[in-house]
Amino acid sequence: MRDCSGWPIAKRRGSRAPSRRIAPDRALAVDCATGNGQAAIALAGHFAAVVAVDGSRAQLERAQPHPNVRYELAVAEHLPVPDQSVSLVAAAQAVHWFDFDRFHAECRRVLKPGGVIAVWTYEKFQAGAAIDTIVDRFYEDVVGDYWPPERRYVEEAYQTLPFPWAEEIVPSFQLQSEWSLEQALGFLASWSAVQRYRDAHPGQDPLPAVAAELATLWPANGTLRLNWPIHLRLGRS
C-alpha cells in the first residue's frame, strides 16, 4: 500500500509538537523499504544525505532520482551503513512487514547516540459519511478475509507494534489530497487484499461494483478532498 499515486501532503494538527529538533544532527538518514523513494526524497530536504533501501529491485528501478539520495538493494534488517553513523532511521507504511527483533537490533547498531527511529502508517482515506461507508464495507466485507495478519498493526494505529525505544511525544498529522474517482480506485486496486481476492477467485474482480457505488457520489469529472489520519511513533536510542 505504499505506492499509491498522487501522494498527498502531510499537515500537522494539534499543538503538541516538540519545539526542539529531535535528530542529533542532519548528516545522514536511512529510509527503509523506500518503494519509489517518496519518503526518501522528502527526507533529503532535511538531511545532507539519505540512504534509501528496498528489497525489491523492481521498486528501486522506479525510484525518483535525487542528488542527496543513494538507493541500495537491501533490507531493513541488514542496513548498508557503518555502526553509529545514522541520525534517523525511518520507515513509512512498512515496519509492520519487518522482522521486529532483527530490525530494532539493526537500528541500535547504526544509530548514533541520541539517534532517532520514526515509523508511521496511514489509515484509509476519509471523504464523508456516505463514501466512507462504501469504502469501509468494501474493506471489511468484500476483501476483509484476504488481508494478511500483519495488517492488524495498521488497523490498531501502530499502538500495538513492538517498539522498544524511549518514545517522544508527537503531534497529530493527517494527509490531505484532492483525488479523482480514478485515482481513488487506483488506490483501492493497490491493496494487497484486492490482489489476493483476485487470485482466489479467477476471473472475478471486486472493484467494478465498488466503483459503481462510488460513482454515484463522486463529482463527475471532478475531485474530492480526502483526509488520511497518520499515526507516528518516534523513539530515541
> Helices 129-137 & 207-215, crossing angle to 10 degrees?
170
Domain boundaries, the chain: 9-236
Q: Please state which CATH class domain 9-236 belongs to.
A: alpha beta
Q: Which grid cell sits at 150?
A: 500483519
Cα–Cα distance between 157 and 175 in angstroms, integer?
Answer: 15
pLDDT in tens, 72-120: 999 999 999 999 999 999 999 999 999 999 999 999 999 999 999 999 9
pLDDT in tens, 115-159: 999 999 998 999 999 999 999 999 999 999 999 999 999 999 999
CA triple 130-133-136, angle to 5 deg: 150
Q: Give the count of alpha carbons within 13 A of 105, CB side only.
A: 6
Q: What percent of the chain lies above the pLDDT cut of 70?
A: 92
The model scores a pTM over 0.75 = yes
Q: Which grid cell sits at 80?
A: 548498508
Cα–Cα distance between 112 and 86 in angstroms, integer?
Answer: 6
Q: What percent of the chain lies above the pLDDT cut of 90?
A: 86
Answer yes or no: is pLDDT of 34 > 70.
yes
Torsion angle of C-alpha atoms 50, 53, 59, 60, degrees rounded to 10: 60
Q: Phi and psi for 155 in degrees, rounded to 5?
A: -60, -30
pLDDT in tens, 7-31: 443 433 433 333 347 899 999 999 9
SS (H, E, C) 1-15: CCCCCCCCEEEEECC
